[in-house]
């Protein structure tokens, strides 16, 4: 029945203060207030409806996304929302769109790498959305290998301008979000050529379309690259293709009078290239910034899937009826718990590592401003490795949550198929996960060669086994006289182990903070132990081979895991309630707050367009003749 909380009995079992946990999850009382207020604003506004996406054609879907983006912007302006509130609104609108790249990459690139003069010129226009930007780095022929990009930017000292050109088919820009149909400007990455000499890849702000009639400018060929994985899903985004045919780029950010996009280098009006003495990799700064936001986003996506699967596991009953009594809740099966609760623990673990990474990024940015590059290598390795680790675990976790919901998990109305389809490219964009782990492996090799075998002594006691595992995996590889390429698959495993060590140690450090609320810290300790012991169980071979745990330890750890699952069980619903997601944002009948699943599933089925008529289109044309033929045969 509507209005009845079918999960009330579960909520009454909770042993901790859920409201206090909501604050921990949000990060602060202020952050909770903004999230809570904005998520409810979006949920209550029919203009942000999203339950019809899977029934729209690509063109209808895209036009609807443009409508929503414009409506969101009008809401932001009319309500005078702050930048923080506006970002939250775009988050809860939950629709991949060009605005992700405008706000998530184009503006951060100018803020992070533009000079004062460029920021003054471009940021006001971008903040008012009087220009719409995208981040055009990847090409048809190169994505991972940025140094392999082929687009050229040749300085013409006669005109003081740059000529941006796509010399080959494979140099076509390919994939940039927002590029296909919307962006008026791009930060395009090209090989800088001055006086016939090449100076590597730099960013250039290039206008693509007229601000009068949106037509592509002279020399610009631009369009969408076509349908992507899943029906609705990421097809709300116009990932584009772009070719430059000797485009004069008067706004070149490498141009001395507007100065270079990077404070890394300068091209003077006399056409001289001046490389300052900062690491050339600062040109990758935007990618480092986005990778740390993607880690925080992983905790959001995983917690969303876990919320759905946990609530449904408490609603779903199957087998186990005693003397005609109710069947067993599937959340009570040890197999369901052993699959679900490590994902619940991972969602919290990724939340806290995301908080730490945000601090690390802010710290390295502050240091860069003082020309202190000492922590840049570690920041690169951490953002690359943790982006890889958390997105892989989250993509796998969302699929596991679909399976935890049985057949109904495969319905669009469960919210899980679309969540999976929208989320999985995170394992590829902003750096293919394997390529990024290779960067971590390279950093570890360097660190081992500099520090000797001990990678670091400053880890909490609880992580000794994890640290020993990384050192052991590195020693096994570094000790062997074979090249990096030959050992790369093994070194990637060591890189994963290193990132898992970071996640576990930061979770332990989080628990050393003051955490208010009855029973809150105790719940987080249980989740931290589940995360650490689950990984120890999963990678038992690594830990046993280090000799720092014995088979008996491994068995005890497994016993402890089962006990921890039993401790989580009465608190499971409260722990996912703490994410404070509205039913609108979850977009899932299986995960609805009141647990009233079956009536809602049944009602939703009849809304499918296929049920608009009892006799389906095509019956008279195709089925009736078939049946008539069969009947004739049957009479023979």
Ligand X SMILES: CCCCCCCCCCCC(=O)SCCNC(=O)CCNC(=O)[C@H](O)C(C)(C)COP(=O)(O)OP(=O)(O)OC[C@H]1O[C@@H](n2cnc3c(N)ncnc32)[C@H](O)[C@@H]1OP(=O)(O)O
Ligand Y SMILES: Cc1cc2nc3c(=O)[nH]c(=O)nc-3n(C[C@H](O)[C@H](O)[C@H](O)COP(=O)(O)OP(=O)(O)OC[C@H]3O[C@@H](n4cnc5c(N)ncnc54)[C@H](O)[C@@H]3O)c2cc1C
Binding-site positions for FAD read 138, 177
Residue 89 touches ligand X, criterion: CB under 6 A: no
**Residue 239 contact among ligand X, ligand Y, none, beta carbon within 5 to 8 Å by kind:** ligand Y
Residue 428 touches ligand Y, criterion: CB under 6 A: yes
Of 355 and 490, the one with the shorter C-beta distance to ligand Y is: 490
Of 311 and 442, the one with the shorter C-beta distance to ligand X is: 442
Residue 434 touches ligand Y, criterion: CB under 6 A: yes
Residue 102 touches ligand X, criterion: CB under 6 A: no
Report, in Å, the least distance between residue 112 CB and ligand X.
12
Of 239 and 299, the one with the shorter C-beta distance to ligand Y is: 239
Of 331 and 496, the one with the shorter C-beta distance to ligand X is: 496
**Residue 434 contact among ligand X, ligand Y, none, beta carbon within 5 to 8 Å by kind:** ligand Y
In the window 129-148, what residues touch ligand X (CB under 6 A)?
A: 135, 137-138, 143-147
In the window 169-188, what residues touch ligand X (CB under 6 A)?
A: 177
d(C-alpha 263, C-alpha 116), whole Å:
9
**Cα–Cα separations (whole angstroms), residue 122 to 127, 170, 265, 346, 631:** 9, 30, 19, 40, 73
**Cα–Cα separations (whole angstroms), residue 561 to 363, 502, 554:** 36, 21, 11
What letter does residue 259 receive in the DSSP assignment?
A: B
Query: Which of 69, 135, 73 minimizes the C-alpha distance to 104?
Result: 135
Tokens of 362: 């802010």
Residue 160 touches ligand X, criterion: CB under 6 A: no
Of 138 and 414, the one with the shorter C-beta distance to ligand X is: 138
Question: Position of tokens 């990060």?
Answer: 27
Query: Which of 32, 3, 609, 597 minimizes the C-alpha distance to 329?
Result: 597
How many residues touch ligand X under the rule CB under 6 A: the total is 29
Tokens of 366: 């502050």
Query: Which of 143, 53, 69, 52 minimizes the C-alpha distance to 103?
Result: 69
Tokens of 131: 């220009």
What letter does residue 444 receive in the DSSP assignment?
A: H
Give catalytic residue positions.
Answer: 430
What letter does residue 622 receive in the DSSP assignment?
A: I
Which range touches ligand X (CB under 6 A), out of 32-40, 284-292, 450-458, 604-612? 284-292
In SS3 terms, 374-401 reads as: CCHHHHHHHHHHHHHHHHHHHHHHHHHH
**Residue 446 contact among ligand Y, ligand X, none, beta carbon within 5 to 8 Å by kind:** ligand X
Residue 385 touches ligand Y, criterion: CB under 6 A: no
**Cα–Cα separations (whole angstroms), residue 214 to 225, 243, 349:** 19, 17, 45
Residue 380 sits at the vertex; the CA angle it makes with 375 and 386, to the nearest 5 degrees, is: 120
Of 177 and 415, the one with the shorter C-beta distance to ligand Y is: 177
Residue 294 touches ligand X, criterion: CB under 6 A: yes
> Inter-axis angle of helices 29-43 and 18-26, to 10 degrees?
90
Which range touches ligand Y (CB under 6 A), out of 26-34, 133-141, 193-201, 472-480? 133-141
CB 504 within 8 Å of CB 536: no
Which range touches ligand X (CB under 6 A), out of 206-214, 357-365, 428-436, 604-612? 428-436
Pairing of strands 185-194, 152-156: parallel
Residue 289 touches ligand X, criterion: CB under 6 A: no
Query: Which of 301, 294, 263, 296 minimizes the C-alpha distance to 280?
Result: 263
d(C-alpha 517, C-alpha 121), whole Å:
48
Q: How many CA atoms lie within 13 A of 214 on its CB side?
A: 8
Binding site per annotation, positions: 138, 177
Residue 176 touches ligand Y, criterion: CB under 6 A: yes
Residue 376 touches ligand X, criterion: CB under 6 A: yes
**Cα–Cα separations (whole angstroms), residue 623 to 38, 276, 616:** 50, 74, 10
Residue 372 touches ligand X, criterion: CB under 6 A: no
Residue 170 touches ligand Y, criterion: CB under 6 A: no
CB 318 within 8 Å of CB 328: yes
Of 242, 308, 364, 438, which one interacts with ligand Y (CB under 6 A)? 438
Report, in Å, the least distance between residue 160 CB and ligand X.
29
Which range touches ligand Y (CB under 6 A), out of 53-61, 193-201, 422-430, 441-449? 422-430
Q: How many CA atoms lie within 13 A of 295 on its CB side?
A: 29
CA dihedral 300, 303, 305, 309 (to 10 degrees): -170
In the window 295-354, what residues touch ligand Y (CB under 6 A)?
A: none
Residue 432 touches ligand Y, criterion: CB under 6 A: yes
Which range touches ligand X (CB under 6 A), out of 212-220, 319-327, 357-365, 439-447? 439-447
Of 204 and 284, the one with the shorter C-beta distance to ligand X is: 284
Residue 587 touches ligand Y, criterion: CB under 6 A: no
Of 21 and 491, the one with the shorter C-beta distance to ligand Y is: 491
Residue 287 touches ligand X, criterion: CB under 6 A: yes
Report, in Å, the least distance between residue 431 CB and ligand Y.
5
Which range touches ligand X (CB under 6 A), out of 376-384, 479-487, 488-496, 542-550? 376-384
Q: How many CA atoms lie within 13 A of 600 on its CB side?
A: 21
d(C-alpha 152, C-alpha 167), whole Å:
7
How many residues touch ligand Y under the rule CB under 6 A: the total is 20
Report, in Å, the least distance between residue 325 CB and ligand Y.
49
Report, in Å, the least distance between residue 188 CB and ligand X.
12
Tokens of 568: 């989580």
Find residue 188's DSSP bridge partners. 136, 204
Instruction: Compute how many other C-beta atoms are within 10 angstroms of the C-beta atom of residue 530.
Output: 24
**Residue 288 contact among ligand X, ligand Y, none, beta carbon within 5 to 8 Å by kind:** ligand X
Residue 239 touches ligand X, criterion: CB under 6 A: no
Residue 175 touches ligand Y, criterion: CB under 6 A: yes
Name the site residues for ligand X (rule: CB under 6 A): 100, 104, 135, 137-138, 143-147, 177, 281, 284, 287-288, 293-294, 297, 376-377, 380, 429-431, 435, 439, 442-443, 446
Name the site residues for ligand Y (rule: CB under 6 A): 101, 135-138, 143-144, 175-177, 234, 239, 425, 428-429, 431-432, 434-435, 438
């Amino acid at each position: 029945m509507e209005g009845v909380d079918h999960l009330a009995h579960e909520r009454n079992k909770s042993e901790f203060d859920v409201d206090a946990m909501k604050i921990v999850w949000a990060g602060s009382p202020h952050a909770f207030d903004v999230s809570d207020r904005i998520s409810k604003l979006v949920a209550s506004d029919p203009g942000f409806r999203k339950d019809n996406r899977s029934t729209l054609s690509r063109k209808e879907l895209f036009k609807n996304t443009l409508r929503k983006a414009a409506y969101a912007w009008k809401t932001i302006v009319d309500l005078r929302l702050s930048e923080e509130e506006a970002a939250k609104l775009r988050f809860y609108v939950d629709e991949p769109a060009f605005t992700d790249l405008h706000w998530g990459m184009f503006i951060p690139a100018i803020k992070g790498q533009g000079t004062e003069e460029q920021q003054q010129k471009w940021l006001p226009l971008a903040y008012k959305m009087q220009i719409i930007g995208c981040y055009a780095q990847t090409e048809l022929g190169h994505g991972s290998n940025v140094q392999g990009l082929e687009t050229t930017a040749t300085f013409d000292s006669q005109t003081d301008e740059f000529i941006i050109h796509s010399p080959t088919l494979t140099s076509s820009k390919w994939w940039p979000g927002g590029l296909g149909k919307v962006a008026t400007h791009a930060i395009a990455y090209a090989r800088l050529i001055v006086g016939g000499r090449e100076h590597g890849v730099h960013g250039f702000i290039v206008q693509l379309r007229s601000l009068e009639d949106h037509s592509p400018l002279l020399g610009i060929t631009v369009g969408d690259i076509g349908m992507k994985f899943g029906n609705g899903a990421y097809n709300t985004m116009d990932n584009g293709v772009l070719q430059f045919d000797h485009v004069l780029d008067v706004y070149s950010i490498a141009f001395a009078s507007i100065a270079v996009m990077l404070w890394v280098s300068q091209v003077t009006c006399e056409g001289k290239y001046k490389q300052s003495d900062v690491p050339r990799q600062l040109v990758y700064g935007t990618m480092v910034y986005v990778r740390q936001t993607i880690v925080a986003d992983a905790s959001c996506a995983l917690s969303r899937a876990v919320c759905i699967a946990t609530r449904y596991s408490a609603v779903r009953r199957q087998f186990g009826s005693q003397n005609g009594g109710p069947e067993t809740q599937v959340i009570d099966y040890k197999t369901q718990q052993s699959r679900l609760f490590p994902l619940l623990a991972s969602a919290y673990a990724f939340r806290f590592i995301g908080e730490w990474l945000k601090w690390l990024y802010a710290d390295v940015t502050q240091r860069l401003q003082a020309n202190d590059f000492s922590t840049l290598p570690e920041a690169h390795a951490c953002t690359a490795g943790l982006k890889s680790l958390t997105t892989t675990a989250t993509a796998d976790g969302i699929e596991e949550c679909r399976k935890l919901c049985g057949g109904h998990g495969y319905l669009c109305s469960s919210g899980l198929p679309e969540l999976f389809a929208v989320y999985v490219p995170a394992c590829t964009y902003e750096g293919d996960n394997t390529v990024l782990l290779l960067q971590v492996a390279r950093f570890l090799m360097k660190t081992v060669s500099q520090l000797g075998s001990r990678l670091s002594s400053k880890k909490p006691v609880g992580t000794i086994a994890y640290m020993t595992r990384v050192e052991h995996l590195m020693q096994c590889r570094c000790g062997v006289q074979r090249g990096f390429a030959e050992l790369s698959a093994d070194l990637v495993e060591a890189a994963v182990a290193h990132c898992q060590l970071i996640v576990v140690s930061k979770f332990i450090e989080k628990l050393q903070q003051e955490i208010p609320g009855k029973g809150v810290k105790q719940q987080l300790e249980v989740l931290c132990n589940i995360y650490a012991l689950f990984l120890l169980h999963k990678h038992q071979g690594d830990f046993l081979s280090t000799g720092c745990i014995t088979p008996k330890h491994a068995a005890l750890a497994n016993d402890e895991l089962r006990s921890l699952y039993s401790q989580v069980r009465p608190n499971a619903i409260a722990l996912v309630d703490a994410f404070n997601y509205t039913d609108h944002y979850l977009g899932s009948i299986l995960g609805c707050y009141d647990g009233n699943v079956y009536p809602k599933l049944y009602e939703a089925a009849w809304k499918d367009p296929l049920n608009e008529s009892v006799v389906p289109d095509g019956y008279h044309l195709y089925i009736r003749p078939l049946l008539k033929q069969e009947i004739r045969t049957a009479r023979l």
